[in-house]
Amino acid sequence: MKITRNRRVSETAGRQSRSKFPNALYSEAGNKMIGRICGTGSFVPEKTVSNDDLAKIVDTSDEWIRERTGVARRHIAEQDTVVTMGAEASRRALENAGISPEDVDMILMATSSSNVIFPSAACSVQREIGAVHAGGLDVSAACTGFLSVYQIGQAYIQAGMAQTVLLIGAESLSRLVNWKDRSTCILFGDGAGAAVLQADESASCLQTVFHSDGRKGWTLTCDSRHKDGAKDLSGDPSTFIQMDGKEVFKFALTKVPEAVREVLEKTELSTDDISWFLLHQANIRIIEGVAKRLRLGMDRFPSNMEEYGNTSAASIPILLDEMNRSGRLERGQKVVMSGFGAGLTWGACVFEW
Ligand code: UT7
């Protein structure tokens, strides 16, 4: 009674069901099925903007930006949208997984920067990649977005509602940034990452935690009146990303270590059991601070914000794809993922690669 990869859930669910949860999938051992990431992909636009380039439009310097954030350059979309970037990252992830778009049951897309309110970016990606059997929806959880779609995807699989879920994080934050505001425009970049999550009876060790605190929502906002003209420097500043950087910094340094400890407690694992801590790439000082609070060295906290800046929901899946393709992720390793950002929202999960 093995789960066959690529078989559509409707064909398999009946045979693997128990009466209490008629659709749920179970492994041979009788445990409820969970998903395993079986392919990753990413895409960033070609155009880069260096710190020196930014120093020509706002009062800043390469030295200040590198020291305070760890960012050296960011990729900026010119023609690309979250849909074109998300679709390309998805094609690469599906190819990496050896899965046809027609075998995807569900597309969950984390984004806060689509240039249309509806149709959802997930449905547009579905159209672009030909995932004709999939359902699709967007999830708005800012920089915690990829963690959220991962958790929802796992819930779909555990409930027997899907067997193959395409997870996407894609952002075009350059549309929403006030290019006159030196405290925010230096941070963000554009790009997309995707991962294919598939029910796998040998997958184990999944625990997740997710939290929100709407009372602190004011610390990081973006008004929905933004429009494509946002790159026009004469735009109304109140319609761009606005952030109390210090508050967000403090929040991340407190809540991320707490979430990591909380999720490890649920699995009865210690930090020694974890090969990699994949954190949202907001600021290198946040990652260093989290590592320090967990009393760990930086060697298990990979980062790529030097090249991409903070790509919000895309940062974790881009990193995941780089880790996968460079061979640093090995099957059987235990990995912690942690996202944090606007909402405020934060959380973590632990899984076996
Ligand atoms: O994805 C999650 C969302 N965001 C984050 O995680 C961001 C979290 N916060 C941060 O990363 C940091 O707070 C920033 C990088 C945004 C700012 O660093 P900071 O060390 O908190 O700087 P600050 O806001 O306290 O500003 C210190 C000084 C100020 O000047 P004065 O008042 O001391 O004269 C700022 O005006 O640095 C000035 N400043 C800059 N100077 C040069 C602010 N931005 C810049 C800049 N270049 N780009």
Read off the pLDDT of residues 107-149 as tens digits, 9 standing for 90 and up.
999 999 999 999 999 999 999 999 999 999 999 999 999 999 9
State both tokens at 336.
């912690």
| pLDDT > 70 in the chain, percent | 87
User: Per-residue confidence at 257, pLDDT binned at 50, 70, 90?
Assistant: very high
Ligand 1 pocket: which of 112, 144, 183 to mutate (most atoms within 8 A of CB): 183
Q: Ligand 1 within 6 A of 252 CB?
A: yes
**Residues 20, 159: Cα–Cα separation, whole Å:** 11
Ligand 1 pocket: which of 57, 68, 246, 316 to mutate (most atoms within 8 A of CB): 68
State both tokens at 13.
């669910």
First to last CA, the chain: 23
Residue of 105, 210, 213 lying closest to 150 (CA atoms): 210
Catalytic residue among 51, 283, 310, 324: 310
User: Per-residue confidence at 31, pLDDT binned at 50, 70, 90?
Assistant: low
Query: Which protein residue's CA is at the shortest distance from atom 43 of ligand 1?
Result: 183
**Residues 59, 181: Cα–Cα separation, whole Å:** 9
| Residue 142 Cα: closest atom of ligand 1 | 1
Q: Ligand 1 within 6 A of 135 CB?
A: no
Q: What is the mean pLDDT of the chain?
A: 90
What DSSP designation does 310 have? B
The angle subtended at Cα 263 by Cα 259 and Cα 266, nearest 5°, is: 145
**Residues 129, 87: Cα–Cα separation, whole Å:** 6
In the numeric block, the tokens 């049951």 are attached to 105
Q: How far is the CA of 147 from the centre of ligand 1 (A)?
A: 26
Torsion angle, CA of 161/36/106/176, rounded to 10 degrees? 130
Handedness of CA 273, 276, 280, 281 (dihedral sign): positive
Catalytic (active site) residue 6: no
pLDDT digits (tens, 9 = 90+) for 182-223: 999 999 999 999 999 999 988 877 899 999 999 999 999 998
**Residues 333, 52: Cα–Cα separation, whole Å:** 39
Query: Which protein residue's CA is at the shortest distance from atom 16 of ligand 1?
Result: 245
User: Per-residue confidence at 227, pLDDT binned at 50, 70, 90?
Assistant: low
What does the pLDDT read at residue 203?
81
Per-residue pLDDT, averaged over 310-322, amounts to 98
Q: For the chain, what is the radius of gyration of the CA atoms?
A: 20
What does the pLDDT read at residue 205?
72
Q: How far is the CA of 284 from the centre of ligand 1 (A)?
A: 13
CB count, 10 Å around CB of 156?
Answer: 22
Q: Ligand 1 within 6 A of 315 CB?
A: no
9 pLDDT exceeds 90?
A: no
Q: How far is the CA of 244 from the centre of ligand 1 (A)?
A: 9
What does the pLDDT read at residue 3?
43
**Residues 89, 104: Cα–Cα separation, whole Å:** 15
What DSSP designation does 263 have? H
pLDDT digits (tens, 9 = 90+) for 39-76: 999 999 999 999 999 999 999 999 999 999 999 999 99
| Residue 310 Cα: closest atom of ligand 1 | 1
Q: How far is the CA of 183 from the centre of ligand 1 (A)?
A: 5
The angle subtended at Cα 46 by Cα 40 and Cα 48, nearest 5°, is: 115
Query: Which protein residue's CA is at the shortest distance from atom 47 of ligand 1?
Result: 60
Q: Which helix (H) or strand (E) holds 137?
A: strand 135-139
231 pLDDT exceeds 60?
A: no
User: Per-residue confidence at 268, pLDDT binned at 50, 70, 90?
Assistant: confident
User: Per-residue confidence at 1, pLDDT binned at 50, 70, 90?
Assistant: very low
pLDDT digits (tens, 9 = 90+) for 86-113: 999 999 999 999 999 999 999 999 999 9
| pLDDT > 90 in the chain, percent | 83
